[in-house]
């Protein structure tokens, strides 16, 4: 194997690693963004339910945020 063939091989390997790394980063960003959106939606819904049912709004908001974040993460990762 000559030196140029060795450089070509490592360049291909590096390109594949960069593509895989970019794909993983994109999936992580999508999952994170969706989870945050779901958590915020759950927080708002939890606060509304807590307010209208005269419950502790902080606890109901926290529970809504957790449920919204987890549900959204499960839905997005279900590919």
Neighbour count for residue 15 (Cβ, 10 Å):
10
- The tokens for 24 are 């993983």
pLDDT at 34 over 60: yes
Average pLDDT over residues 39-67: 93
- The tokens for 28 are 């992580």
Average pLDDT over residues 52-58: 91
- What percent of the chain stands above pLDDT 70? 73
Provide the pLDDT for residue 2. Answer: 54
pTM summary value: 0.67
pLDDT at 11 over 80: no
């Amino acid at each position: 194997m000559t030196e140029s063939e060795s450089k070509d091989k490592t360049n291909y390997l590096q390109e594949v690693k960069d593509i895989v790394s970019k794909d993983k980063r994109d999936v992580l960003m999508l999952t994170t963004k969706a989870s945050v959106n779901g958590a915020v939606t759950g927080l708002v819904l939890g606060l509304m339910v807590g307010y209208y049912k005269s419950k502790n709004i902080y606890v109901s908001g926290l529970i809504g945020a957790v449920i919204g974040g987890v549900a959204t993460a499960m839905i997005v990762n279900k590919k």
